[in-house]
Structure 1
Amino acid sequence: MKKMLLLLILVALSCSKKDVFEADRQIIINPVAKCENGFAGEYPCNDYDLLTHISLEEIAGENTVGNDSWGWVDPSTNKEYALIATNKGVSFIDITDPAKAIILGFLKTRTENSSWRDIKVYKNVAYIVSEANDHGMQIFNLSRLEEVTNPPVEFTADREYTGFGSAHNIVINEESGFAYAVGTKTFAGGPHFIDLTNPFEVVAAGGFEQSAYSHDAQVVTYNGPDLDYTGKEILIGSNENEVVIVDVTDKENPVKISAISYSNIGYTHQGWFTEDSKYFILGDELDERDKGVNTRTIIFDFTDLDNPIFHFDYLGKSAAIDHNGYVKGNLFFQANYTAGVRIIDISDIANKSFTEIGFFDTYPDNDNTAFNGAWNVYPYLPSGNIIISDINRGLFVIRKSKS
């Protein structure tokens, strides 16, 4: 009996801090409003519960308008954070226990307010751009969040990069360590390359201007079906009226591989690869308004990067405008403005079939074709919790309902 007790003690002691934290986290994650009979509190839903909601007034005071968001996990503590962008700057919120979320602090815009501000994270550093005049890029060490003892505090940036004036967005290839600012005042609005090897002394690394303005992009170290490009760094640009595929491996000599357009273009806005890199899922931001269609998602077959092919259109249940969308496994998480976030099963994509399996509507007023509601969704937290930033209502954290 004593030997058994000693063995149990040794096993317990051998458990890592992460194991203990994970166990604790499973206990504390409780919805503030379960999705029952089609609603979580006042919010229409299907199979997704509300874990917390923080208003824009709480996040950054009066006259605040929401926009982009991202997530970060502190590798030393496994705490989870929401990075919420607004017209005024960026707020950093500890959502490890969503029901007890803590607004840790705020980083003001570098120059002036703007309705467009975007964030990405690489190696515990946040990189923030905006369309605000001469904003450049703010660089913020996220490890500082653990040091906050009396929140909320007003942060200052650790460094600033001024290699471009303003930018619409920034994307990062975490495998290569390069960032790509898009919609800048350089390279005709095409991607502006930045080397993040030294995160606080970043270096300009060139750009690509042959396809003009790039509104958004995804950049990957390619490991898909086209063996001609295995290991190459590939940029997929959503460039207003077409999707452009560029080999950016050699930063001094980027090479356009191909481009593809499609019917009834409104505004080629943003897209994301499936995890096997075979298909690219695109959102057009203005086709609902200008072409009179329901929420339309355009899917391309990228099996051959030199010869991309239109695959099919998926139409949603309302005429709400789609904005940003991200793939996680066989699910596509789509920020759908007034219709909130839609969760779509894409496992049958080869047979040209998508199925909506869940949603959470952060804008319950209506599903009109208008620029209100969910701007962005971040589905990549290891806890399974999902961050939503809403233009009108701030931060939401949701989670799939337990069966």
Structure 2
Amino acid sequence: MFTFKTLSTFFKIFLFGCIVLTCFQSCDDEPVDPLVVVDTDDDGIPDASDNCPNDFNPDQEDFNDNGIGDACESVSEIDTDNDGIFDDVDNCPLIPNPGQEDTDNDGIGDACDDVPALTPLYPCEGGMAGPYACNDYDLMGYIPLEELAEIGAEGNDSWGWTDPTTNKEYALVCSTQGTAFVDMTDPTAPILLGKLASANPGNSGNKWRDVKTYNNYAFIVSEATGHGMQVFDLTRLRDVTSPPETFTADAHYTDFGSAHNIVINETSGYAYIVGSNINSGGPLFINIQNPTNPVNEGSFPGYSHDAQVVTYNGPDADYAGQEILIGSNANEVVLANVTDKSNPIPISTVTYNNIGYVHQGWFTEDMTYFLLGDETDELGFGNNTRTIVFDFSDLDNPTLHMNYNGPTAAIDHNGYVKGNDYYQANYSAGLRIIDISNVSSNSMEEIGYFDTYPENNNTSFKGAWNVYPYFASGNIIVSDINRGLFIVRKSGT
């Protein structure tokens, strides 16, 4: 019988990742089978108790305490704070924050950030935000038109830019005199950084101006005669130390003079100039992949007032990956394949009843439906604000899907889709937010608004010209013809 008294030798033999304990006994004792302990990753922790037996992890780290060692668990599968957001994309991985709120847009979630919650300039309470009627949207900040432009100017288009290096948010606000650049990273204290004057400031007459962005540059056109397209490097806004500054353009493109609008497909790097003084106002195809050296590569016939151009990934497989233009062309909607700039191909056209002026439209995010605004049907036919919805699931055969009528007689101007919401600049009725999650079932519902023109909701060309709802922070900018820049935000966010 084996006893410690008969133990003659004790060895540890490490062989092929196994620890073998062998006891040599006296010849009188029966042999004992070796005790084998498996440690596959050779980290000193036997497989039987190792939380990651195939990967070296002697400290047995298990950040989310789920029994699986971090060494063999993908970071994309780790959710330390159990809030439903994996650590690799969670802006606050140690504290639950399922909504990923980031008030100051610094990449650190509010739950981990010591930045206090922002206090609106006017919260929406009892249906009013200061002097402005509202529903579920607060007024965060405001800059009057008199600061953005000179006395006597009128406001018009706007767009937004987020600096990819600093995550700061900027509003680009147009007027009849030029373009203003506003740092609105803190929406409660927006800073006018400077202005870029019109390229033809002495021109009389209509000077409506439109702006879009691509690759950290702003591209600006105007109906002013001889204006062309101004190109402005937005990264210059990082270095403004004594605002407001007087800016100059980084490039000035003059192959056309006046233009009503500019559309940019940021995926392809092309700008589409519409309503210009050449090609009878048909879209011009301008390659802006080198932003300060634009190149004209072609055009499409037929006047276009506004357009959306997308790299198509919708339900019509025939056009997958193609560049598709949807033109709002005054009396019809035109669809065209503009992938080959030297040979654009018409696809189809579509109209509807009681056309006033086919003005502007936007795809739903799945590219199944197209929401169109008619700018003068309220004046011509007496209907309330009307949004016409087309089914574009077959681009060769677009069909009318439904009409949505808003609660006021105000004229709709520009509208954009973000997720399941449609953000509409509704002139005298201000900004309207419409839930389109059930559009496939012929149902749309207004869920919020902020009225930038408190005088009335009449059928007139006053009030909100444009809205930009695409900031990650949730801030929304509204440019108002009469009052300037409004920064609004959904209440409680």
Of 240, 245, 263 in structure 2, the residue corresponding to residue 171 of structure 1 is 263
Q: What SS is found at the alignment partner of 1:231?
A: coil
- 2:132 is aligned with what amino acid? Y
Question: Shift of the alpha carbon at 1:64?
Answer: 1.7
Q: Which runs of 5+ in 2 are unaligned?
A: 1-58, 64-90, 95-104
Is the 8 Å Cα contact of residues 25 and 97 (structure 1) preserved in structure 2?
Answer: no
- 2:396 counterpart of 1:306: yes
| 2:406 aligned partner | 316
Give deviations 1:85-128, integer Å, cap 9, x for gaps.
00000000000001111100000000036441000000100000
| 1:48 aligned partner | 137
Question: Shift of the alpha carbon at 1:165?
Answer: 1.2
Give deviations 1:345-380, integer Å, cap 9, x for gaps.
000101111000000000000000000000000000
Q: What SS is found at the alignment partner of 1:58?
A: helix
Tell me the distance in 1 between the aligned counterparts of 2:370 and 2:243.
41
Give deviations 1:138-158, integer Å, cap 9, x for gaps.
000000011110000100000
- 1:169 is aligned with what amino acid? N
Is the 8 Å Cα contact of residues 301 and 309 (structure 1) preserved in structure 2?
Answer: yes
Question: Shift of the alpha carbon at 1:186?
Answer: 1.9
Tell me the distance in 2 between the aligned counterparts of 1:317 and 1:25.
42
Tell me the distance in 2 between the aligned counterparts of 1:36 and 1:20.
29
| 1:391 aligned partner | 481
| 1:238 aligned partner | 328
Mapping for residues 142-221 of structure 1, pairs under 5 Å: 142-209=234-301, 212-221=302-311
Give deviations 1:36-71, integer Å, cap 9, x for gaps.
000000000000000011111111231121000000
| 1:97 aligned partner | 186
Give the helix-richer structure, 1 or 2.
1
Mapping for residues 253-402 of structure 1, pairs under 5 Å: 253-402=343-492
Question: Shift of the alpha carbon at 1:26?
Answer: 6.5
| 1:83 aligned partner | 172
Distance 1:229 1:343, change over 3 A: same
Is the 8 Å Cα contact of residues 21 and 78 (structure 1) preserved in structure 2?
Answer: no
Q: What SS is found at the alignment partner of 2:346?
A: strand
Tell me the distance in 2 between the aligned counterparts of 1:297 and 1:124.
32
Tell me the distance in 2 between the aligned counterparts of 1:268 and 1:33.
36
| 1:19 aligned partner | 107
Give deviations 1:193-220, integer Å, cap 9, x for gaps.
00011111111111001xx110000000
- 1:336 is aligned with what amino acid? N
Tell me the distance in 1 between the aligned counterparts of 2:167 and 2:215.
14
Q: What SS is found at the alignment partner of 2:188?
A: helix
Could you state the TM-score of these two structures normalised by the residue count of structure 1?
Answer: 0.94
- 2:312 is aligned with what amino acid? Y
Tell me the distance in 2 between the aligned counterparts of 1:167 and 1:29.
40
Tell me the distance in 2 between the aligned counterparts of 1:28 and 1:195.
43
Mapping for residues 129-148 of structure 1, pairs under 5 Å: 129-148=221-240
Is the 8 Å Cα contact of residues 377 and 383 (structure 2) preserved in structure 1?
Answer: yes
Question: Shift of the alpha carbon at 1:298?
Answer: 0.2
Distance 1:295 1:226, change over 3 A: same
Is the 8 Å Cα contact of residues 163 and 235 (structure 2) preserved in structure 1?
Answer: yes
Q: Which piece of structure 1 moves more, 67-76 or 105-114?
A: 105-114
Q: What SS is found at the alignment partner of 1:387?
A: strand
Q: What SS is found at the alignment partner of 2:440?
A: helix
Q: Which piece of structure 1 moves more, 374-383 or 28-37?
A: 28-37
Give deviations 1:22-41, integer Å, cap 9, x for gaps.
76596353211110000000
Is the 8 Å Cα contact of residues 150 and 177 (structure 2) preserved in structure 1?
Answer: no
Q: What SS is found at the alignment partner of 1:322?
A: coil
Distance 1:176 1:305, change over 3 A: same
Q: What SS is found at the alignment partner of 1:19?
A: coil
Runs of 4+ residues over 6 Å off in structure 1:
none
- 1:125 is aligned with what amino acid? Y
Tell me the distance in 1 between the aligned counterparts of 2:107 and 2:311.
31
Could you state the TM-score of these two structures normalised by the residue count of structure 2?
Answer: 0.77
RMSD: 1.9
Q: How many residues align?
A: 390
Distance 1:122 1:337, change over 3 A: same
- 2:187 is aligned with what amino acid? P
Tell me the distance in 1 between the aligned counterparts of 2:312 and 2:114.
34
Over the matched positions of the two proteins, sequence identity in percent amounts to: 61
User: Computing the radius of gyration over CA atoms, which structure comes out larger, 1 or 2?
Assistant: 2
Q: What SS is found at the alignment partner of 1:71?
A: strand
Of 210, 214, 219 in structure 2, the residue corresponding to residue 127 of structure 1 is 219
- 1:72 is aligned with what amino acid? W
Question: Shift of the alpha carbon at 1:316?
Answer: 0.6
- 1:290 is aligned with what amino acid? G
| 1:111 aligned partner | 200
Q: Which runs of 5+ in 1 are unaligned?
A: none
Tell me the distance in 2 between the aligned counterparts of 1:374 and 1:26.
32
- 2:389 is aligned with what amino acid? I
Distance 1:18 1:44, change over 3 A: closer
Is the 8 Å Cα contact of residues 142 and 190 (structure 2) preserved in structure 1?
Answer: no
| 1:39 aligned partner | 128
Tell me the distance in 2 between the aligned counterparts of 1:21 and 1:152.
31
